[in-house]
Structure 1
Amino acid sequence: MSPAASPQSFRLAGVIGWPVAQSRSPVLHGHWLSQYGIRGAYLPLPVQPDRLPDAIRGLPALGFSGCNVTIPHKPGVLKLVDRVDPVAARIGAVNTVVVQDDGTLSGFNTDAYGFLASLRDARPDFRAGTGPIVILGAGGAARAVAVALLDDGATDIRLTNRTQDRAQELARIDPSRIHVIDWARRHDALDGAALVVNSTSQGMVGYPPLDLSLDALPATAMVSDIVYNPLETELLAAARRRGNAAVDGLGMLLHQAVPAFEAFYGVRPNVSKALRQAVAATL
């Protein structure tokens, strides 16, 4: 990514979604704008699906440096930008649009970066190739997680999802390293794993908890849940009780914003304890 202007000029960015009121992006970008004394603004931009092409193509005319993209628009933006970063193409979704100096639009996906960075907050020496990895779920978040881990050297990803057809579709990213496990065998899939990732909505506020026994999981394994509301899901609480390192979903949210903020405002921000507290206070 490259910023479209110097940080001294007024910079305008935002997050596009439908709905968008639930997004924490304005809070975290606003925190950084204040911290670094940047002249700029970051706005929530509610855009109905049928107006998405107009909104994305209108960014340069409105003077935006770019925008983030949240549900349900991430896949649709792929076809609306002038160029797509290879990582975003493999994930099949764009979460960051950058307006270039010539007015063209570049699409990126920073979720993979954010996920790996959150793991390394908990364990700086983490490398995906150190052992088998179990991913639960096969939606857009799971695709970002899988690409991140593959690019970090994962050799054995055990993917399980309630709908096996969807899991098989995701496994096509790299069939030699992603192996689909039947949902009924998800408990056994944890045997010998170095990392377990819940990328489903189970455990989120308003959803049932994830039904997963950790009995077969080694005590040395990490457990990651991309859910951040609540911060401590039942899965993470169970992991901590048995001594496993637990990584909540807030870190992924914060870290995925770092390269986007740098592209929009020309400053590489820091994910600090104060930022985490500011965003957590809104949950």
Structure 2
Amino acid sequence: MRVLSTVDAWLDVAHLSDPDQRIAGWSADYEAAFPSVFEVYYRSWGSHARRVEAAKSAPTLIESVRRAEGRAIELLQTAEQDFRDHGLIDGDDLNVVLMVGGRSSNGWVADHEGQPTLFLALEYLGLSPYDDLLVVHELTHVAQQRLSADARDATYTSALALLVEGSAVTTTRLLRPGFSDSAYLWSDEEHGEWVSRCEVSAPRIARLVLDHLDTLDDDEGVAPLFRNREHGHVPARAGYWAGDQIAQALVTQGIGLSDLLAVDAAEGRRLAARWGEQLA
């Protein structure tokens, strides 16, 4: 595992007593020390508008960020071994960036310096055990990009996104058993009612999936599937629930984790279509 941490540079700024100096130093010193990291961050997961508040609040987060850095490394070491034991990663396949951002995203996988890389935002890591579930979920995406060319390089349709996200949820279930649906799908215990609503709304979710198998996953037409945006009787982020249903069924049928994570776009479309036709 190769870990790049921005924490020391962030601490240099966080310890500045003058708020104006912290605001100036956030961009000029902290972000400037890691240009490739923040280029990835602001491409899709961060917001420049949050810089000022992040700099202002930095002193209040010093101890929690230090703890989160140590906790993240422990979780990553354990998860890395679990993934190696299951044959999901090998060699030097795990690249990690530990950073402090503007509390806009907690974890994601993106290409960094030519490699699929797991990013964790320490100011937003969350509490135990949900931080562990997040790490395993996002590490699954690294494994997917190693095992499936489509997961790494293909343009994501809603069908492919269903399988990619659903397989990450199901893999987390298998490697970290014993938690609730809310924990696996939301990293908290506050969404039990949302799970029930997805179950009741399954035919409508399936219809939306069928109507948009080839729609790009960031299109407004599929916003209820992958974004925190409800529409009609389709709950927000319902695609994660649907994808998890599809992936769990595959595991029940005997597919191994390596094969589950290696699914290509064509197979993902077939599986999403079959699920939709069964429930619509």
Query: Normalising by structure 2, what TM-score?
Result: 0.26
Query: Normalising by structure 1, what TM-score?
Result: 0.26
